[in-house]
Amino acid sequence: MTQTPQIILASGSAIRADILRGAGVSFAIAKPDVDETIIKSEAAEADKTLEQMAMMLAEAKALDVAKTTNAIVIGADQILEFEGRAFDKPQNMDEARARLIEMAGAAHTLINAVAIARNGRITWRNLERPRLRLRALSETEVDAYLAAAGPEILTSVGAYQIEGVGARLFETIEGDHFSVLGLCLFPVLDCLRREGALAF
């Protein structure tokens, strides 16, 4: 009888773990030891696109964990692109406030890269680009939102969490809901089925 492969999520992201758990996927978590700053610097020096940079990060995370196991390892990364610029997670609430005010009334893109590694090599990749438009928010509204949401929003590149009160900030969202959250669930599930890790 063929043994069902183990699945490992190479991420410390609580929302990515919640997405997989919600779909009934059994998995372990292993935080990768990857210096994202170095990878981003190398990507910039090599004139890589933001999509390529996001995929480099996702692959590096998956490969770092995959080097010590024969499990199916899922790595992911998300970069916010606004007016041609890339944004990381805000460092503090002041930075989050400034970002939301700057993006208010305009559209931005979340570049969501996912890579799966097995036996020390990348076996699958997926890239999504959901597009989101914030309402024309006043500074008072932004302040009210930050007070309601709290510092937990600093774990999000956009300083919002659409699965919660952050949904009230938006005018439109185009693209896959799960990719906005940080993990393209349906393509990942399809890959896991093909790898024999899921019964259905």
Q: How far apart are CA 188 and CA 194, in angstroms?
A: 10
Q: Which of 164, 133, 171, 134 is nearest to 149 (CA)?
A: 164
To which residue do tokens 């399809």 refer? 190
**Any idea what the Cα angle at residue 88 is, between residues 85 and 92, rounded to 5°?**
120
Selecting among 77, 94, 143, 176, the annotated active-site residue is 77
Structure tokens at 198: 């899921």
Q: Is 88 one of the catalytic residues?
A: no
CA–chain centroid gap for 146, Å, is: 21
Task: Evaluate whether 134 touches 106 at the Cβ level (below 8 Å).
Answer: yes
For 102, phi and psi rounded to 5 degrees? -65, -40
Crossing angle of helices 139-149 and 93-103, in 10° steps, is: 140
Total residues belonging to the chain:
200
Task: Evaluate whether 4 touches 26 at the Cβ level (below 8 Å).
Answer: no
Positions annotated as catalytic residues are 77
